[in-house]
Chain A
Amino acid sequence: GAGVSQSPSNKVTEKGKDVELRCDPISGHTALYWYRQSLGQGLEFLIYFQGNSAPDKSGLPSDRFSAERTGGSVSTLTIQRTQQEDSAVYLCASSSPGRGVPYEQYFGPGTRLTVT
C-alpha cells in the first residue's frame, strides 16, 4: 500500500518568509510525528499527534513553529519568519499504536528545506 508522503520534496526560501510542509500519513494510522534532521545531529523530535488527544508540542524549538492535523489525517508544519538555522530535512512519520511492531514509525522521504 501507499506509504507516508511528504510535499514538497525540496523547498528553497528566503530568510523571513513563511513555509508550509505537508505530510500525508498511511491511511488508518492514528499517530503522526514530525522530526527535523540536520547534518550530524540525528533526528530531533518536534511534535506528535495521537488521535484526538492534545498534541505533544514539547520539541518545537520556538513559537515560529506550529503544526496542525486536520481530520485526523493530513498534517501541515508551518515555519514562520524562517531563519538560516531552520535549514534541514523535515521528516514526517506515522504509526498505528496497538498494531504491528511496537515502536515502528513509518517515515516519509522528507522535505529538504533550504533558507537562503
Chain B
Amino acid sequence: QKEVEQDPGPLSVPEGAIVSLNCTYSNSAFQYFMWYRQYSRKGPELLMYTYSSGNKEDGRFTAQVDKSSKYISLFIRDSQPSDSATYLCAMSETTDSWGKLQFGAGTQVVVTP
C-alpha cells in the first residue's frame, strides 16, 4: 500500500466550476502538507502548503487538512482553462523545511472553455 493515495483522474470540468481534489495518507507522522501543480512537460511548482489540520486560502485556491481522517483536499474556485494541469499532493514528516517529500500520483485536471 502506498503511503499517499491520489486518484489520477482525469477530472474534466467546465470553465467556472469548482474543482475538488483530494489525497489520503496512512502515515500519521506527516505534519506538513503541500500541493504542487505540474504543467505538461514541466517540473512541478509549489501551489500551497499547510501545517497540521485546518484550512488555508489563497485567492481561488483553498487547501484543507483533516489529520484525524488522514485526508487533505484542494479546491479551485472559478476554474479557468489555464488551471488545466496535474495536481500533486505532497507530505513531509520533518519539522525542518527540507528533506524528502512523499508525493501522490497526481490528478490530471482539464478545464474546458
Question: Which positions in A face B, CB cutoff 8 Å?
Answer: 4, 31, 33, 35, 40-45, 48, 50, 56, 58-59, 91, 93, 95, 97-98, 101-110
* Alpha-carbon separation in the docked complex, A103 to B41 (Å): 22
Who on chain A is nearest to B38 by CB?
Answer: A107
Q: Known contacts A91-B44, A103-B90; can you find 16 more A-B pairs with CB under 8 A? A: A4-B43, A40-B8, A42-B106, A43-B44, A43-B106, A50-B99, A56-B100, A98-B97, A101-B49, A102-B49, A103-B97, A103-B101, A104-B49, A105-B46, A105-B101, A106-B43
Given A103-B32, A107-B44, A109-B41, check contact A48 B49 (CB 8 Å). no
The reply to whether A103 and B34 form a contact with Cβ atoms under 8 Å apart is: yes
Which of B63-113 touch A at CB < 8 Å? 88, 90, 92, 96-106
Q: Tell me which of B4, B92, B98, B103 has the highest count of chain A C-beta atoms within 10 A of its own C-beta.
A: B98
- Which among B6, B32, B34, B97 is the interface contact of A42 at CB below 8 angstroms? B6
* Alpha-carbon separation in the docked complex, A108 to B43 (Å): 5
* Alpha-carbon separation in the docked complex, A62 to B100 (Å): 18
Asked whether any CB of chain A lies closer than 8 Å to the CB of B42, the reply is yes
Who on chain A is nearest to B95 by CB?
Answer: A102
Asked whether any CB of chain A lies closer than 8 Å to the CB of B57, the reply is no
The reply to whether A102 and B97 form a contact with Cβ atoms under 8 Å apart is: yes
The reply to whether A107 and B45 form a contact with Cβ atoms under 8 Å apart is: yes
| B36 CB, min distance to chain A CBs, angstroms | 8
Write out the residue numbers on chain B whose beta carbons fall within 8 Å of the beta carbon of A98: 97
* Alpha-carbon separation in the docked complex, A85 to B76 (Å): 35
* Alpha-carbon separation in the docked complex, A50 to B98 (Å): 8
The reply to whether A42 and B49 form a contact with Cβ atoms under 8 Å apart is: no
